[in-house]
């Protein structure tokens, strides 16, 4: 009789769904593993779009999202909701990804029931529990609970060792976001009809004669002054005339207000609704450079040869910086404009960033995770 292991995979936000979709598919391809997909709905619309593009239907939907939700509500609702699912399923493992409130609350729910936790994208640290906030603390708390840790890089693994995590509990995998990106990039390259339909969504307003700066921004620590400074810097860049800015604006009202107040009405700036995964990757492929405070995009962009300017003061992905694929510019207007201007005007500087090999993996992380999960389960099937 073969190994039989029941796994509950939990996600609540768009980035989690992107990074866990390849893991779920790898779990479901293995006859020894039974995967149950549980979503919390911490982000609703954006989460559903990702699940659809990866052809995933959740087995359990806690659907906790409500207007004006704060961190206390999300934490308690996810803790209770995931706990009910665990009680019903009685899994051997619970898998969480990254640093969201969903990941922390789900891990805590598993701990309360003595269910083993596997942490995908473990070990990322800035050393400042308030930057990014609350993500840095969420990561540390999940790390304190997890039985298996899947850091994406050697540096992340070193962070775990410094915190006392046993060597046999650590498995460096690369980042699953590269698995997802390669899957989508291959589809866009091979399916002409699919690619053309996505590109047509932007043809009405994009100018092929201008280089595209793709922007995202949503970090809580940047709300207010930080986002305002970034927006002013983007406006300065758009004034050049030889670039255009595309900014899919996050649904958070504070992000919307800042973007609309400072950036609307400029001919070279396009404020659009948040995008599903496939059209966003389409824009990434077309972009000349990317301005973002997103962790996931810092990981994805090097695979597409796109320099990244990171509008944060710290990053838990220093490999992007040290490799030369990304540069920290903070939320300083002048620093953003200066760095972007160099990349726009100095071809050699641009190529130095664009040609860096991605330090976050080769697209095989999901296979490594499933193999390690099975190995641990076969060694200790009852604990």
Catalytic residue among 16, 99, 179, 316: 99
**What's the token pair of residue 339?**
């760095």
Mark residue 245 as left, alpha or beta (left: phi above 0; alpha: psi -120 to 50; beta: remaining): beta
Catalytic residue among 195, 211, 220, 240: 220
Tell me, yes or no, if 218 is annotated catalytic.
Answer: yes
Q: How far apart are CA 131 and CA 126, in angstroms?
A: 7
Tell me, yes or no, if 99 is annotated catalytic.
Answer: yes
Could you tell me if 100 and 42 are in contact, meaning their C-beta atoms sit under 8 angstroms apart? Answer: yes
Catalytic residue among 35, 61, 92, 135: 135
Catalytic residue among 16, 35, 121, 293: 121
Tell me, yes or no, if 121 is annotated catalytic.
Answer: yes
| Other beta carbons within 10 Å of 240 | 16
Tell me, yes or no, if 136 is annotated catalytic.
Answer: no
Catalytic residue among 14, 250, 270, 312: 250
Catalytic residue among 28, 218, 240, 352: 218
The residues annotated with a catalytic role in the active site are 99, 121, 135, 218, 220, 250
């Amino acid at each position: 009789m073969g190994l039989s292991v029941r796994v509950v995979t939990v996600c609540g936000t768009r980035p989690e769904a992107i990074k866990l979709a390849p893991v779920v598919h790898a779990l479901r391809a293995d006859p020894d593993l039974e995967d149950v997909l549980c979503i919390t709905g911490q982000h609703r619309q954006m989460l559903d779009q990702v699940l659809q593009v990866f052809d995933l239907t959740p087995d359990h939907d806690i659907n906790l999202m409500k207007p004006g939700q704060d961190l206390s509500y999300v934490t308690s609702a996810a803790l209770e909701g995931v706990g009910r699912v665990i009680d019903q399923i009685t899994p051997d493992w619970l898998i969480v990804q990254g640093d969201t409130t969903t990941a922390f609350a789900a891990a805590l729910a598993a701990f309360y029931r003595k269910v083993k936790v596997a942490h995908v994208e473990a070990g990322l640290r800035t050393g400042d529990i308030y930057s990014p906030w609350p993500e840095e603390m969420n990561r540390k708390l999940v790390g304190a609970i997890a039985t298996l840790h899947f850091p994406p890089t050697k540096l992340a693994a070193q962070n775990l060792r410094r915190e006392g995590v046993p060597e046999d509990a650590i498995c460096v995998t690369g980042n699953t976001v590269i698995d997802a990106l390669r899957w989508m990039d291959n589809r866009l390259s091979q399916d002409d009809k699919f690619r053309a339909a996505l590109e047509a969504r932007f043809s009405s307003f994009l100018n092929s004669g201008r280089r595209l700066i793709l922007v995202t921004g949503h970090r809580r620590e940047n709300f207010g002054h930080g986002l305002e400074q970034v927006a002013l810097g983007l406006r300065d860049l758009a004034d050049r005339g030889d670039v255009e800015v595309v900014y899919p604006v996050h649904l958070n009202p504070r992000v919307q207000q800042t973007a609309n107040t400072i950036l609307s009405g400029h001919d070279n700036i396009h404020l659009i609704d948040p995008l599903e995964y496939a059209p966003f990757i389409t824009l990434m492929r077309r972009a000349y450079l990317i301005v973002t405070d997103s962790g996931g995009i810092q990981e994805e962009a090097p695979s597409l040869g796109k320099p990244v300017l990171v509008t944060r003061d710290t990053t838990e992905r220093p490999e992007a910086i040290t490799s030369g694929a990304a540069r920290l510019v903070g939320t300083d207007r002048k620093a953003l404009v200066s760095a972007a201007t160099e990349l726009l005007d100095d071809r050699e500087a641009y190529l130095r960033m664009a040609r860096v090999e991605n330090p976050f993996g080769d697209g095989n992380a999901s296979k490594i995770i499933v193999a390690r999960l099975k190995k641990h389960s076969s060694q200790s099937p009852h604990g």
